[in-house]
Amino acid sequence: MRTSISAAVALGGSLALAALVVPTAATAAPARGGTCFDLGVAGKYGEFVEGDDTHKPDAEGAVAVGGNADFSRGFTIGNELTPEEIAALPGGYSLVVGGNLNIGGGAHFRLMKGKGVYAGTLVGGGRADNVEQGASPIDFAKEFANLRHVSTELAKTTGGAPVVDGKKITFTGTDATTNVFTVAADVLQKAGDVYLKVPAGSTTIINVTGASYDQTKAPTTGFWIWDHAKGAYVQDDKTQSADGGAERAELLWNLPTATSVTKHSGNAWPGGVLAPNAAFDLGTGGPVNGSVWAKSLTGSGGAETHHYPFAGCLPGGTATTPPSGSPSPSGATGPSESPKPSESATTPGGASATPGASESPQPSGSGSAAPTPSPSASRTGSTGGGSNSGGGGLAFTGAEGITALTVGGAAVLAAGGGILYAVRRKKAGSGA
What is the per-residue pLDDT for 316? 85
How sure is the predictor about 88, in pLDDT bands with cuts at 50, 70 and 90?
A: very high
* pLDDT at res. 318: 52
pLDDT score of 319 more than 60 = no
Average pLDDT over residues 326-331: 34
Encode pLDDT of 122-139 as tens digits: 999 999 999 999 999 999
Instruction: Identify the weakest region by mean pLDDT among 52-66, 195-209, 282-296, 323-337.
Output: 323-337
Report residue 319: phi and psi, to 5°.
Answer: -85, 70
pLDDT in tens, 139-151: 999 999 999 999 9
Give pLDDT tens digits for 302-317: 899 999 999 999 998 6
Per-residue pLDDT band for 106 (boundaries 50, 70, 90) equals confident
Contact 266, 285 (CB under 8 A): yes
| pLDDT tier, 121 (very low <50, low <70, confident <90, very high otherwise) | very high
- Closest among 63, 44, 41 to 299, alpha carbons compared: 63
Task: Say what the pLDDT of residue 107 is.
Answer: 82
Q: What is the DSSP letter of 305?
A: B
226 alpha-carbon distance from chain centroid: 24
Q: Is the pLDDT of residue 280 over 80?
A: yes
H or E element in which residue 143 lies: helix 140-155
Assess contact for 29 and 383: CB atoms under 8 A. no
Domain positions in the chain: 2-24+394-430, 145-329+337-375
- Phi first, then psi: give them for residue 182, nearest 5 degrees: -130, 130
Residue 267: Cβ within 10 Å count: 24
pLDDT above 80 for 384: no
pLDDT at 351 over 90: no
Alpha helices in 185-264 (DSSP H): 185-188, 246-249
How many Cα neighbours within 13 Å face the side chain of 225?
27
Q: What is the pLDDT of residues 20-49, one digit of tens each?
A: 333 322 222 234 456 899 999 999 999 999
Residue 99 · residue 119 · CB < 8 Å:
yes
pLDDT (0 to 100) of residue 343: 34
